[in-house]
Structure 1
């Protein structure tokens, strides 16, 4: 195993702002350092500014803590960078609204590094019903376990910027946050994925839930999952798609007709005027929510806005809800496993898109009360602060 190298230029024990007046606060100076190699023993990174070098891996049985207010900066010029929590490793990165933990990249160019990758020990179900698969992040590590309540740690008020490194399409791809079979004991709260080159958040199976998530300006899907992910306590998801983007939410289950589904409440999906799809040909990728491969879910209090037809560079029809294939339509829509209730839609002329052309998706396709439009839905409820501000821009201004 590689050793972890810490080049600490300023001791964490140095303080500034001291005064003879005991009532004045003592301000702790940030340390300066480097994070690299495999981390094989427990480590706390004090509040500071760190350089991330390489695919840093937190080993099984090891707990790494990053103190609030810290900034970790990758540099694409030194090769592939990322922060990886291996199965049974633990990452504790708890910032605050005013002192978030920020992981960014020096050039501020989308797709410059691998983001945060976390492996857990919760179940997944892949193609053909397999309960284990190899990751698509280039590490090709097996994921999938049996512990639904497994914990990989806690991420609170963490922002990942300019990630989504894609080295070989469909062979080695990264997102802002990648969660492989992560369990429900893991805490994911107040997270931002900002201007990445792939998905903002992707769940590969598992049972973990995310609260107060912002996907802003990511060029593929804002939220994406597969491998029969079934998080049950998700709330306050906000996607703002601008520049180049595909789906607000891409929902699929690798063809498995599961008896369970994830649940998400309070969702806002917005697409800025002039935003174009990443893939203008082939599969249409311009919808607020797309279901395929038996993807399903229970979604409520949803605001959808701005999913208009695209005219340039290629003509593409956009809509609120797309179902791509007949199996998903039959098993999940007609079968009652897709619920979309209290949905407020504006700036989106087409409500339904039938991807396969062998069925017609409509409000009547949903049994009982599984589809319901509203004029009073409020969507995500999030509070502004430094955690949701980048270069002086309030990411919630369009919420």
Structure 2
């Protein structure tokens, strides 16, 4: 990102007034962006946005780190595209970072970004080709809901400009940061310093009055979704080809998430720690030291599908755990599928007896589970071959011959139908019952009828 120069950047060099002018691209400027006029999102000297409505007839360029003004609501019309604008220099701990394409909704501000299945709102790379993680900055929501920190912390990844509060947390459980619905965030991420990164969607102390529904985060440099405390609930989330963790919980998050999909990609980069992969489908901590701070981190997760890589050797090199529950976290996770990792689930210093891990289907190339889940009523399989993984899961058809994993051979023709439990799958409905299936998609779902239909993109590097 430091060396990235967009069309808007060129314009800024040539025209001092470009920040207020319309830039009309010619030809096929970007395979991912529509051919519409482009404008910079207007901001004041502190980076506060001075316009409260962004229309879909314009591709909006986000310069540096741009903030919705406290007490104000930024409305983004369905079908709108937003991308990276001019970089701005920010000094953090004596280090200068050149950052662009970050939208922050601080405490008391709101965002109203309600797309539709036919017209999602898209935050994405400005590049026409060679798009990659880090082309876009990311989206950050900060609220006043409880965390387990004694004082409101500063959100990670964001330097604190003069005049803007980037702390989060408080005592308003039902705090309202607005709405994100039918939204895609692609190619996001920025590493400010080690362990201090901008994710695809970062949520700090966000309250249950906020609506998060039908959101996809793809090809992120760090995590797809990271929750630092808060009580916000969410549904129908997709994490695709993320470098680090697809879902990350910390600092006392206690919300409920229903129906979510986590897909790793053999072609993406993956984070490392101590020379080994540190890329998980899910990672959860009470805090960085594993303290007993209250409220406990305890996400409630229902009907998730976590799929790693359909190759035991590649999975062992590029990935770590399907789920990693550690550092005194608690959890409730039910009716979910976890597969395609060396170890499906790792339980490390979790909080019991309030934790529940039940009615899940777990696969691992080496072992399904390490540690002891509570209660221990799950279906598990540990095997060293991908072929057995497919025939065990039986996703896509009754014989289990369909490869449901995201891979090079399926990147251009990926079908959500291949993630649906087939007859005889341990994730299918129990005999004589209904609505007891595991995973993000009900038996009988087709690609056209799935909740992902219309607004998601499973090959964002090529569309």
Q: Give the distance between the partners of 1:387 and 1:321, measured in 2 at CA.
A: 30
Matched residue, 1:123: 146
Residues 64 and 85 in structure 2, CA contact (< 8 A), matched pair in contact too: no
Matched residue, 1:166: 191
- Which residue, 178, 181, 186 being the options, matches 2:210? 186
Q: Mark the CA change 1:277 to 1:351 in structure 2 (over 3 Å): closer, same or farther.
A: closer
| More off after superposition, 383-392 vs 266-275 | 383-392
Measured after TM superposition, the shift of residue 105 of structure 1 is 1.6
Deviations 1:141-191 (A, max 9, x none): 322111000001000011111112113212x31100000101000000000
1:248 aligns with 2:281: yes
Q: Which structure 2 residues correspond to residues 55-74 of structure 1 after superposition, within 5 A?
A: 55-74=65-84
1:379 aligns with 2:439: yes
Residues 63 and 92 in structure 1, CA contact (< 8 A), matched pair in contact too: yes
1:50 aligns with 2:60: yes
Matched residue, 1:290: 324
Normalised TM-score (structure 1): 0.77
Q: Give the distance between the partners of 1:390 and 1:105, measured in 2 at CA.
A: 15
Q: Mark the CA change 1:86 to 1:52 in structure 2 (over 3 Å): closer, same or farther.
A: same
Deviations 1:86-144 (A, max 9, x none): 11111101111111111012232212332101110101113xxx242222113253221
* Partner SS, residue 248 of structure 2: strand
Q: Give the distance between the partners of 2:360 and 2:462, measured in 1 at CA.
A: 25
Matched residue, 1:142: 167
Matched residue, 2:119: 99
Q: Which structure 2 residues correspond to residues 380-395 of structure 1 after superposition, within 5 A?
A: 380-381=440-441, 382-389=450-457
Gaps of 5+ in 2: 1-17, 25-34, 89-97, 161-165, 271-278, 381-425, 428-436, 442-449
Q: Mark the CA change 1:276 to 1:198 in structure 2 (over 3 Å): closer, same or farther.
A: farther
Residues 132 and 461 in structure 2, CA contact (< 8 A), matched pair in contact too: no
Matched residue, 1:32: 38
Measured after TM superposition, the shift of residue 42 of structure 1 is 5.7
Q: Give the distance between the partners of 1:392 and 1:146, measured in 2 at CA.
A: 39
Q: Which structure 2 residues correspond to residues 1-399 of structure 1 after superposition, within 5 A?
A: 6-8=20-22, 32-37=38-43, 38-39=47-48, 41=50, 43-47=52-56, 48-74=58-84, 79-81=98-100, 82-107=102-127, 108-126=131-149, 130-140=150-160, 141-170=166-195, 172-232=196-256, 234-243=257-266, 244-245=269-270, 246-254=279-287, 255-257=290-292, 258=294, 261-273=298-310, 275=314, 286-308=320-342, 319-324=343-348, 328-329=349-350, 332=351, 335-346=352-363, 348-353=365-370, 361-362=371-372, 366=374, 369=375, 371-373=377-379, 375-376=426-427, 377-381=437-441, 382-389=450-457
How many residues are matched? 337
Q: Mark the CA change 1:186 to 1:7 in structure 2 (over 3 Å): closer, same or farther.
A: farther
Measured after TM superposition, the shift of residue 338 of structure 1 is 2.1
Q: Give the distance between the partners of 2:226 and 2:295, measured in 1 at CA.
A: 21
Residues 345 and 362 in structure 2, CA contact (< 8 A), matched pair in contact too: no
Q: Give the distance between the partners of 2:199 and 2:74, measured in 1 at CA.
A: 21
Gaps of 5+ in 1: 11-28, 309-318, 354-360
* Partner SS, residue 146 of structure 2: coil
Residues 339 and 371 in structure 1, CA contact (< 8 A), matched pair in contact too: no
Q: Mark the CA change 1:253 to 1:50 in structure 2 (over 3 Å): closer, same or farther.
A: same
Q: Give the distance between the partners of 1:102 and 1:352, measured in 2 at CA.
A: 37
Normalised TM-score (structure 2): 0.67
* Partner SS, residue 133 of structure 1: coil
* Partner SS, residue 455 of structure 2: helix
Measured after TM superposition, the shift of residue 306 of structure 1 is 0.7
Residues 57 and 86 in structure 1, CA contact (< 8 A), matched pair in contact too: yes
Measured after TM superposition, the shift of residue 371 of structure 1 is 3.9
Q: Mark the CA change 1:266 to 1:390 in structure 2 (over 3 Å): closer, same or farther.
A: closer
